[in-house]
Amino acid sequence: METKKSEVRLMKGNEALAEAAIRAGLDAYFGYPITPQSEILEYFTEQIPKRRGVVLQAESEVASINMVYGAAGAGARVMTSSSSPGMSLMQEGISYIAAAELPCLLVNVVRGGPGLGTIQPSQGDYFQATKGGGHGDYRLIVLAPSSVQEMCDFVFDAFKLAEKYRNPAMILSDGALGQMMEKVEFPEEGSLPHIVPDWATTGKKGRERNFITSLHMEPEKMEEINLHLQKKYKTIEENEVRYETLDVEDAEIVLVAFGLPARICQKAVELAREKGIKAGLVRPITLFPFPKKILSDLSKKIDHFLVIELNAGQMVEDVMLAANGNCPVHFKGRMGGMIIQPEDVLEEIEKIIQQPILQE
């Protein structure tokens, strides 16, 4: 559905996301403070009482995610947000939510890890976000914004996808996107209608009872549920892949980056082109479903992939699977809150293209 744009503001990524959620008709937010995403909770506690919905600061991330479970099961449009260590605490609940097929929005403003790590930006939670994260075979729909505008827009997209597929959707942001200020244009409030689903536990008035569960003791039934979930994930992979490309048509080396590093790579492509290097960029927007096809197609035409991440190399594994040996897949990353610079990327590109290609 087209959402009408209505207002332009200069805002922090975290606040833009929260404002967008209210405009998207958020019924309830449950969360717990953690840097660098506390502005989301703060914004809601300030705004929601004056506008509409429920906001509650829970006693922990564990409680938050289970409140989300309860409210989503009761048919509400509901979300939580956290940052890496808090997200780890939520994983059990997320597994239950995915298994019970409850739509909701999860926001991870990723910080450096492992452990308590650092409050600086990172992409170290890629595996956790895209491979399930908790126990069992399940997937989240994962959207990776790279601007404050997308912190806003993806809230609408995430709710739409979550409700369409009865699946939790995640916005995988990072500490830098959460904190930086940019111009953002907001859709109008109420532009994303919400109908209480017929499976919700709202009291069995005029119908058979509903129940929300993830427990199936009979192996036949449990396998049936799993097959159903896998079929759903397959449908999502077929229909909901999103990505952006830059200068890939004639590229010999293609950068692959998501989120903030994709913007750094845009600059690196520019610098490379100035030097006569045919560089391009693929930015996966949905990390699940992952844009396998474009990467697979490109892998047959290009000489190199170079994956740039703010971690030790996580998405690079998915790029390798997509490339399937058709071309070499290189990796350059920074960790612990360090941000890679366009010049570092260019240096890496030059290093790669100077190496002889063994296959030829």
Partner 1 sequence: MSQEILLEDMQCVYQKPATLTDDYMHYCPGCGHAVAHKILMEVVQEMGIQEDIVGVAPVGCSVFAYNYMNIDMQEAAHGRASAAATGIKRVLPEKYVFAYQGDGDLAAIGTAETIHTINRGENILIVFINNGIYGMTGGQMAPTSLLGQKTSTSPYGRDVEHNGYPLKITDLIAHLPGAYYVTRQAVHTPNTVRKFKKAIKNAFEFQKLKKGTCFIEVVSNCPSGWKMTPKETLAYIEEKMLPEYPLGDLKVPTQNNN
Q: Which residues bind partner 1 (CB under 8 A)?
A: 27-28, 30, 54, 56, 58-60, 62-64, 66-76, 78, 92-93, 96, 100, 201-206, 209-215
Residue 65 Cβ vs partner 1, minimum distance, rounded to whole Å? 8
> Is the bond preceding 193 in cis, omega lying within 30 degrees of 0?
no
CA quadruple 111, 117, 123, 125: dihedral sign: negative
SS3 state at 360? coil
Residue 27 Cβ vs partner 1, minimum distance, rounded to whole Å? 6
Q: Give the nearer residue to partner 1 in terms of CB position, either 93 or 289.
A: 93
Q: Give the nearer residue to partner 1 in terms of CB position, either 204 or 275.
A: 204
CA quadruple 114, 91, 333, 299: dihedral sign: positive
What is the C-alpha radius of gyration for the chain, rounded to an integer number of angstroms? 21
Q: Which of 356, 260, 251, 359 is nearest to 306 (CA)?
A: 251
Q: Give the nearer residue to partner 1 in terms of CB position, either 106 or 143.
A: 106
Q: Give the nearer residue to partner 1 in terms of CB position, either 63 or 151.
A: 63
Residue 132 Cβ vs partner 1, minimum distance, rounded to whole Å? 16
Residue 206 Cβ vs partner 1, minimum distance, rounded to whole Å? 7
Query: How many Å apart are CA 109 and CA 122, to the nearest integer?
Result: 9
Q: Give the nearer residue to partner 1 in terms of CB position, either 67 or 327.
A: 67
What number of CA atoms fall less than 13 Å from residue 316's CA on the CB side?
Answer: 20
Strand 54-57 to 78-82 pairing: unpaired
